Amino acid sequence: MTAGRNATILQVAVPCPIPGTFDYRAPADFTGTVAPGQRVQVPFGRRQVVGVLVGCSDTSALPENKLRRATAILDESPLLSADVLELARWAADYYHHPIGEVFATLLPTALRQGKPARRRPPEAWRLTEAGRAISIASLGRRAPRQAALLEQAADAAAEGVTAETLRDTGGDWRTALNALVEKGLLEACPPPRTRPTPERPSLNEEQQAACDALMDMVESHGVALLDGVTGSGKTEVYLRVIADVLQRDRQVLVLVPEIGLTPQLVRRFRQRLPGRLVSLHSGLSDGERLDAWLAAATGEADVIVGTRSALFTPLARPGLLVIDEEHDLSFKQQDGFRYHARDLAVVRARRLGVPVVLGSATPAMESLHNAERGRYQHLRLTRRAGVAQPPTVHLLDLRGQRLTAGLSEPLIARMRKNLEEGGQSLLFLNRRGYAPVLLCHDCGWVAECPRCDARLTWHQAANRLRCHHCGHETMVHRQCGDCGSIDLRPIGQGTEQLEQTLESLFPDVPIARIDRDSTRRKGAMEHLLARARSGEARILLGTQMLAKGHHLPDVSLVGLLDCDQGLFGTDFHGSERMAQLITQVSGRAGRAQRPGEVLLQTHHPEHPLLQLLLRDGYPAFARACMEERAAALLPPFSHLALLRAEAVQPEAPRQFLQAARELAASVAAREVGIMGPVPAPMERRAGRYRAQLLLQCRTRKPLHITLSRLGEALQTLSAARRVRWSLDVDPQEMI
């Protein structure tokens, strides 16, 4: 697909929700070269937009007089590599999403806005003579940012601390840096080329075997599912293989879940890996993100660590893709272009001819299925690395138990004993705020969100009622909205209340609460985790946030306050999620010398899946789950697509989907099942009514064909104007 000498027609993907590309003539005075992957500024309707050139041609389906001239070619050479162009095209086709919007989501903001693709020169700073002499403590509390920066510079010593390292933490570090340079404590220095490889911990037999298998793959390609129990040392395996790839002068792209990308993780990677590492996290400014992206594209960066969207980063010399915690939901984009980064990583790696490693302690059913069918190489790590012992796990039957803010007596007793023994306790509660319901004791009225089918959560500290689904927020009513009674009572408990109760149950015991509210401030998460790791905090409590990958060596007791969510949900993914959560959470217990204990509070201790998970572990659960899925013809034994619709008018989504259903039925392949339309599990959200139509098929092909035809037909459906609709291929949640 290269530009021919006479190629005059530019095929441009334009950021708008119309499928297909748009043809343009080259700019009037244009003498340079054109090649797919360059950005083009084009007139589009009445405005100017930035599109991506995806091809050139001598001819157009449109008459000459309909074609307009491109305004400018924005890049001298292609910005996107051929493989990313191919991937975007493939993804647009697979997810039935307009190609222009696919490019709009994969380009960094600065490039989407037409800014020049110029990379800032790499920078680094080191301590001056005066800087080495100064006591960091003297900067003290007055300038914590400056103090932290000096400390980093001291750690980096003569090599200097790089801009890339400073960006890991996010936020404004420039101001502090400039101040320190001004004071003569720091000076610019040439950025270090490579870092010495530090010593490596030894591997156990399983880790070694996994490493060997992966290194064999590096020679060729393929997909490996690295299925390792928590604490089995998956990261060590990644590090070895990555180092091996780096040695071959190839780049490595590492994708991690959204909350998994912490400065702590990046620091560990930096310490262990030679070469240049850039991280692509949400705390970067547009300019910083562009810089990191270009470093990857030009090949200046050797390791790229990022979340979902980093998958589309061009790589000059690709060698390996790693998807850590591959089962994590955050790899699937939940709006707009609903791609799954893990699935696309497999596609991209195959096209690049490089291996891809999917790592998890609790693999997704899809991945296990692929491993079973021999599509993926299944590498297992069954033993905890080092001296770590597996924890003991018990169910606590909540039926008839007296509860204190959701804590059963046995759990409180175990926590007390654990604290006495000097252990650290970790409690999970998947509900933030003080109480999920505020009830009028006189008439039964409850505070509800005016825009959603949901209750408002009472946040005591802020004294606000908040909707966790749409962000709606109000002052706490002094009186009942219905009868005027002032007897309003919080029902149920969230992390805020749990923290308060724990403070009174265990006075003088330092507690750290980690949830979205307590970590909203920049660096708050790091600070709380540091308190947890240092052992200063004896009780840690939090939401799912706390379940992901943080290394907390002293935790010896883990309590899951409510593991019944997901057991009886509407979404068939529910039990898989529950098992993953329980397993991940349990893995937090007893990672070091201390054997851990896990207590699961439940009202359904007899639930077969729960029993199975406890008795025989995640693999056994997965087999049972798989059998259920096979019997019900659910994924991975069939393929799903969801047509979602929402509108302010209550009836519009259903009317649209009914019309869509008829359309689908008329174009559908024989094998495709159509179900619905049905209201979404939460029908009203953020003031919009939502409904969905489900399409299902044993094999991918007929479903895909049906979706293509349906997508096309929907473009011209008049009812489509009255709703916001989207197609979700391989939906991960039915919300």
Partner DNA sequence: AGCACGCCGACT
Partner DNA sequence: GTCGGCGTGCTC
Chain residues in the site for DNA (CB under 7 A): 15-18, 20, 22-24, 42-47, 60, 62, 66-68, 718, 721-722, 724
Say which residues have a Cβ less than 8 Å from residue 542's Cβ, sequence separation at least 6: 427, 428, 429, 495, 513, 514, 515, 518
Q: Is the dihedral of CA 102, 659, 573, 552 positive or negative?
A: positive
Identify which of residues 521 and 721 has a Cβ nearer to DNA in the complex: 721
> To 10 degrees, what angle do helices 174-182 and 144-156 make?
80
For 51, other C-beta atoms within 10 Å of its C-beta total 27
467 is in an annotated binding site: yes
Tell me the C-alpha distance between 615 and 317, whole Å: 46
State residue 684 phi and psi, 5-degree precision: -110, 130
Of the candidates 511, 575, 566, the one whose C-alpha atom is nearest the C-alpha of residue 364 is: 575
697 is in an annotated binding site: no
Identify which of residues 46 and 142 has a Cβ nearer to DNA in the complex: 46
Identify which of residues 21 and 497 has a Cβ nearer to DNA in the complex: 21
Of the candidates 584, 579, 587, 590, the one whose C-alpha atom is nearest the C-alpha of residue 614 is: 579
Identify which of residues 480 and 723 has a Cβ nearer to DNA in the complex: 723
443 is in an annotated binding site: yes
Q: Is the dihedral of CA 577, 345, 122, 246 positive or negative?
A: positive
Identify which of residues 16 and 136 has a Cβ nearer to DNA in the complex: 16
- Assigned token pair, 685: 């959200």
Q: 122: cis peptide before it, omega within 30°?
A: no
Tell me the C-alpha distance between 208 and 219, whole Å: 17
Identify which of residues 45 and 198 has a Cβ nearer to DNA in the complex: 45
- Assigned token pair, 590: 């007893």
Identify which of residues 15 and 566 has a Cβ nearer to DNA in the complex: 15
Nearest approach, Cβ of residue 343 and DNA (Å): 25
Identify which of residues 47 and 399 has a Cβ nearer to DNA in the complex: 47
Nearest approach, Cβ of residue 346 and DNA (Å): 30
480 is in an annotated binding site: yes
Nearest approach, Cβ of residue 719 and DNA (Å): 9
Q: Is the dihedral of CA 266, 267, 271, 276 positive or negative?
A: positive
440 is in an annotated binding site: yes
* Count of residues in the chain: 735
Residue that is written with structure tokens 């400073």 in the block:
166
Tell me the C-alpha distance between 116 and 85, whole Å: 19
Nearest approach, Cβ of residue 660 and DNA (Å): 16
Q: Is the dihedral of CA 339, 342, 346, 351 positive or negative?
A: positive
Nearest approach, Cβ of residue 369 and DNA (Å): 35
Nearest approach, Cβ of residue 62 and DNA (Å): 5
**How far is CA 366 from its chain centroid?**
18
Nearest approach, Cβ of residue 726 and DNA (Å): 9
Nearest approach, Cβ of residue 282 and DNA (Å): 21
Tell me the C-alpha distance between 407 and 419, whole Å: 16
Q: Which residues are annotated as a binding site for Zn(2+)?
A: 440, 443, 449, 452, 467, 470, 480, 483
Residues annotated as binding site?
440, 443, 449, 452, 467, 470, 480, 483
